[in-house]
Amino acid sequence: MANITVSCVDTVKSRINIEALLCSAERKSAQRDSNLYLLDFGNSKETGQVLLSTIGEIAQPESKKFNTVAVLPSWLKEYPPLLDESLDNDDTQNCSLAEALEKQDLFINSALVNFGASLLWKMF
């Protein structure tokens, strides 16, 4: 277990399983062995997403400068229609290099990685 889990998987079923596993684990506290955030990467041929969500509610400090929120929803909760649509068409795998070269635009993965790394950097 870790404070931040990063996922980049090929199937919706895998995303469902990862989120279920993280949500079912006992939260001990804000220590290093507690699940707090899930950073999920996904893509198709020409588009992609990087979504940061929380595993449950995370108490936030009071801030006059920022509007803090305790829950960042997962894409499974935020976009349920995409879940139904994706389960029907979820037979392709895109993460392997050989398949990615045949099925994806050249820089889609690197663009997502750069965005995700920037998001993590800003969190730290």
Domain boundaries, the chain: 4-123
Q: Which of 54, 47, 63 is nearest to 109 (CA)?
A: 47
Predicted TM-score (pTM) of the model is 0.78
Q: Are 43 and 110 in contact (CB under 8 A)?
A: no
Per-residue pLDDT of the chain (124 residues; tens, 9 = 90+): 788 999 988 788 888 899 889 888 876 655 677 888 999 998 877 888 899 999 988 888 999 999 999 999 988 888 777 666 555 555 555 555 666 667 777 888 889 999 999 999 998 8
Q: Are 66 and 33 in contact (CB under 8 A)?
A: no
SS3 content of the chain, % helix, strand, coil (to 5): 40, 15, 45
